[in-house]
A and B are shown apart, each in its own frame.
Chain A
Amino acid sequence: MSEPGVWRRLYPLSPIVRGGRGTIGIVILLLPALLRGGISAGDLVPLGVIALITLLGFVSWFVTRWTIDGDDLRIETGVLRRRSLRFPLSQVQAIDILRPGLGRLLGAAELRLRMGGSSGGAARLSYVAAGEVEQLRDQLLALAHGAPPDQATPVAVAADEHVLTTVPTGRLIASILISDVGFYAEAVLAALVVTALLAPAVASAVISGGGLVWLLGVITVTWRRFNLEYRLTVADAPDGLRLSGGLVALTSETIRPGRVQAVRMVEPLLWRPFGWCRLQVDLAGGRQPAEGEGTAQRRQLRVVLPVGRRPLVEQVLDRIVPDRPQRQSPPPRRVRLKSPLRYRNLAWGGTDTCIVTTGGRLRRTTCWVPLEKVQSLRRVQGPVQRRLNLATVHVDTAGRAVRAALRDRDTAEADQALTSFAELARAARRTRG
């Protein structure tokens, strides 16, 4: 609980948490020297860098302070260029709590206030004491919902949550093992083990010759996915979909339906016997991060459901795209000649406010696009398509990964869809956009 109007500092160990990754990296670099017994002059450079970074971090911590001032959260920071940031709490759309691995060890957590308005920036308090972060979030949320500043008691906002699911760890591991990322890692590992068994000399040459970096990269990608999606809990809250979970770093974030640009459901071939699918959303985000906003803010594709079955997917979809089309129509039969692998998956459907398209060769991908989020439409016809009297209509959205397209439709149908989407999108923008 923070007294209104009293200036406070961030958590004292913040600079260590913030510089943590770099420090760990440098320590690892120094490890061989330590093991050799003795640090040479050359190793003093990284040590100096650590010292400098830590010093700068503490200076930055020393000059940063924050307070709740009436309806605003104010943050002051900077040494040479003093900055005073003011975030009106009435514009807060969601408050996320992030706990990086090192932060959890040291008892620190980050509060991120996602602001509304055109800028769509975020206020970050990195870091505050882990013990009071939830209380603080509830207090800020209470203020954001219009409670008087002097008696903003932490209301139990979390109580309104209705937990939809927590992803079982066994299923998550299994799903990653048979996913594309997992296969890649397994192939690299298997190749390495086989060469190590058959020809140790070759294996060691590969490892010392850059193969190690590759291996680490593959493992990192796989690990990151596991780490991020470990015990991810999906809950239905009044202000949107609340996601929380993580293994080393814990995150908790709220996704408002209005921020969703497009939704994508992916069903890899090997997942289909189990009826599993994966749900991702593309979120709006400015191209350039605003002041006081980190790089993490720019990552736009978010996993909403790492692995789950259809009924669960429908439940989650009800929350983000409630008025979605239920039926899809397949393309003309002659498409089989042009796209034999895709043909079985291709389909699209639409209502007055939402389009759904399905595609993909081995990995079936279904995309939902709310019409008020459509940025532009494109009709493309290639030489083979012209011969078969087919055309593709692309529906462009502001997201990063979702590519919705009405692939290989009859030309007349494509033209008709292009015209009607343009009109429906305009109407949707006027009423909701």
Chain B
Amino acid sequence: MRTDVHWRTPSARLLVLRRLEVAVLTVVAAIAAGVLGWLYLSPWLGAGAALLAVILGLAAERVVRRRFASWGYAEREDDLLVRRGVLFSRLSVVPYGRMQFVDVTAGPLERSFRLATVKMHTAAAASDARIPGLEREEAARLRDRLAELGEAQAAGI
């Protein structure tokens, strides 16, 4: 649809982070399944269980990759567009004038990858404008820009 807008995406480091999470979980699950299967059932079943865990991990990696690719945001003249979701695809339109405040958060993992999440809050609880995995500089730029635009276009409730 909107061909005229310039979509930006979260940092590629977010994909690395998400893949790493999946990889660690997969390795742990594979080892646990393999060892338990070997001890209590038979070595072959243990190997099978480990293989299954690896296959599930690969499937999860695919989901993570597609989900990463679905994220996008665009700053238009009067509103911010945020799109996300693979199974349920969502597109939010949040006017700058409706913004009440901007949140920039970074969990420990995100911090170690120098990433941050920017969230825009409006008076409506249902509003959904969260952009994860922005590089720190981009997050700061976006926060300042949103605050500036929000102030310029602020409208009463």
Residues of A within 8 A of B (CB): 118, 120, 261, 284, 372-383, 386, 394, 396-399, 403, 415, 418, 422, 425-426, 429, 433
Say which residue of A118, A378, A381 sits within 8 Å of B126 (CB atoms). A378
Cross-interface CB contact of B88 among A373, A374, A380, cutoff 8 Å: A380
Q: Are A284 and B157 in contact (CB under 8 A)?
A: yes
Determine if B90 is an interface residue (Cβ-Cβ < 8 Å): yes
Q: Does B155 contact A (CB under 8 A)?
A: yes
A378 engages B91 (CB within 8 Å) = yes
A118-B90 Cα distance, complex, nearest whole Å:
32
Asked if B112 lies at the interface with its beta carbon under 8 angstroms from chain A, I say: no
Question: Apart from A376-B94, A376-B127, A396-B124, what 17 extra A-B contacts exist at CB < 8 Å?
Answer: A374-B95, A374-B98, A376-B93, A376-B124, A376-B129, A380-B88, A381-B88, A381-B89, A381-B90, A383-B87, A383-B88, A386-B89, A396-B127, A397-B124, A422-B93, A426-B95, A429-B95
Residues on B with C-beta less than 8 A from A426 are 78-79, 95, 97
A284–B1 CA distance with the chains assembled, in angstroms? 34
Between A and B, 22 residue pairs with Cβ closer than 8 Å are A120-B157, A284-B123, A284-B157, A374-B98, A376-B92, A376-B93, A376-B98, A376-B127, A376-B128, A378-B90, A378-B91, A380-B89, A381-B89, A383-B88, A386-B89, A396-B126, A396-B127, A399-B124, A422-B79, A429-B97, A433-B97, A433-B156
B47 to chain A, nearest CB (A): 35
Contact with A along B55-91 (1 / 0, CB 8 A): 0000000000000000000000011000000011111
* Contact partners of B78 in chain A: CB under 8 A: 422, 426
A375 touches B91 (CB 8 A): no
CB-CB under 8 A from B88, the residues of chain A are 380-383
Q: How many residues of B contact A (CB 8 A)?
A: 24
Verify A376–B122 contact, CB threshold 8 A.
yes
Contacts of A373 in B (CB 8 A): 157
Classify the interface of chain A: helix, strand, loop or mixed: mixed
B155 touching A375, Cβ below 8 Å? no
Cβ of B94: which chain A residues have Cβ within 8 Å of it? 375-376
Residue in B88, B92, B93, B95 whose Cβ sees the most chain A Cβ within 10 Å: B93
Interface pair B126/A394, CB less than 8 Å apart: yes
A96 to chain B minimum Cβ distance, whole angstroms, is 20
Residues of B within 8 A of A118 (CB): 156
CB–CB A418/B126 < 8 A: no
Contact with A along B117-157 (1 / 0, CB 8 A): 00000111011110000000000000000000000000111
Question: A403 CA to B120 CA in the complex, in Å?
Answer: 20
A235 to B89, CA, bound (A): 45
In the assembled complex, the CB of A183 is this many whole angstroms from the nearest CB of chain B, namely: 28
- A379 to B91 alpha-carbon distance, docked (Å): 5
User: Distance in Å from the Cβ of B20 to the closest Cβ of chain A?
Assistant: 28
Question: Contacts A375-B98, A396-B122, A398-B123 hold; do A382 and B87 have CB atoms under 8 A apart?
Answer: yes
Q: A433: nearest residue on chain B (CB-CB)?
A: B155
Selected contact of B92 from candidates A261, A377, A415, CB within 8 Å:
A377
Contact indicator B93/A418 (Cβ below 8 Å)? yes
> Quick one: closest B residue to A383, CB to CB?
B87
Residues on the B chain within 8 Å of A379, using CB: 90-93
Please, how many angstroms separate the alpha-carbon atoms of A386 and B129 in the complex? Answer: 22
A375-B89 in contact (CB<8A)? no
Chain B residues whose CB sits within 8 angstroms of the CB of A415 once the complex forms: 1
Instruction: List, in ascending order, chain B residues with CB within 8 A of A403's CB.
Output: 126
Separation of A381 and B89 alpha carbons in the complex (Å): 5
| A contact residues around B87 at 8 Å (CB) | 382-383
Q: State whether A398 and B91 are in contact (beta carbons under 8 Å apart), knowing that A375-B127, A378-B126, A429-B97 are contacts in the complex.
A: no
Chain A residues contacting B157 (CB-CB under 8 Å) are 120, 261, 284, 373, 398
Q: A426-B78, A433-B156 are in contact. Are A378 and B1 (CB under 8 A)?
A: no
**B92 close to A378 (CB less than 8 A):** yes
A290 to chain B, nearest CB (A): 14
Q: Which residues of B contact A418 (CB under 8 A)?
A: 91, 93
Structural contact, A376 and B91, CB atoms closer than 8 A: no
Distance of A176 Cα from B124 Cα, bound (Å): 30
A374–B98 CA distance with the chains assembled, in angstroms:
8
Q: Which residue of A lies closest to B129 (CB)?
A: A376
Chain B residue with the shortest CB-CB distance to A421: B93
Given contact pairs A394-B126, A396-B126, A397-B124, A429 touches B155 in the complex (Cβ within 8 A) = yes
Q: Among residues 20 to 78 in chain B, which have CB atoms less than 8 Å away from a CB atom of chain A?
A: 78
Chain B residues closer than 8 Å to A396, beta-carbon distance: 122, 124, 126-127
- Residues of chain A with a CB closer than 8 A to B123's CB: 284, 375, 398
Residue from the list B93, B95, B124, B128 in contact with A398, Cβ < 8 A: B124
A contact residues around B97 at 8 Å (CB)? 426, 429, 433
In angstroms, Cα B79 to Cα A373, docked, is 15
> In the complex, which residue of chain B has the Cβ closest to the Cβ of A261?
B157
Task: Note all chain B residues with C-beta closer than 8 A to A399.
Answer: 124
